[in-house]
Amino acid sequence: MTSSSRQDAPPGTAVPSGAAVSEFPEADPAEPLTAEQLAAEWDEERPPHAGPLANVAAGVVTAALGFAGVALSLSMGIGTPERPEAGMWPLIISLVMAALSVSLLLFGRKTLDAEAFSSSSWQVAAGVGTLIGFVLVIGLTGFEIPTLLLTFFWLRFLGKETWRMSTLLSVIVTGAFYLIFVVALSVPIPHLF
């Protein structure tokens, strides 16, 4: 073995005579991963695919919600583009939701992007549930307190932020919404101050 081979060996390692030392040392753990290595790591950690039946079920449920939203929007009155009424924006959003759901039903059976339901799906359910609660109480209490509580819950318990960061950002977000929608734009939403 040459002296250069012995120099490649880590200090304190006995190199038997005639043994070859690898010219390529192991990758440094502090070294960043390549795009291919990162993609492979994400694929290993990803939940299993949902499959075509789950895609169809998701399309049916969201299409039903979209069509129900269209019916409710029309019952509220949509007005005209120059003078929109309460149902205008919900109608537009419901139509988009229904159209995307129908396209999922038609073309989504072969896609593998959807994930199977897992324990992390409960976080989505908690987010939707708290958002529904927010909508139900905003007319009774004004938007400030529900916005503060919703933002805090999402940051602290769903986003796993620290108590300090969750509290600080909740106050900042609520204050920003107040300044934008109440003070600057004079949007007629229920508010305390």
pLDDT digits (tens, 9 = 90+) for 23-82: 444 555 567 878 888 888 877 777 777 778 888 888 899 999 999 999 999 999 999 888
pTM of the model: 0.56
Determine the 3-state secondary structure of 190 from DSSP: coil
Q: Same domain, yes or no, for 189 and 122? A: yes
Summarize pLDDT for 141-178 with one digit per residue, the tens: 999 999 999 999 999 999 999 999 999 999 999 999 99
**Residue-range definition of the domain harbouring residue 129:** 118-193
């205008």: which residue's tokens?
A: 88
Q: Hey, what are 128's tokens? A: 């939707």
Clarify whether residues 63 and 85 are in a common domain: yes
Total tally of structural domains belonging to the chain: 2
Q: How far apart are CA 109 and CA 105, in angstroms?
A: 7
Same domain? 184 vs 136: yes
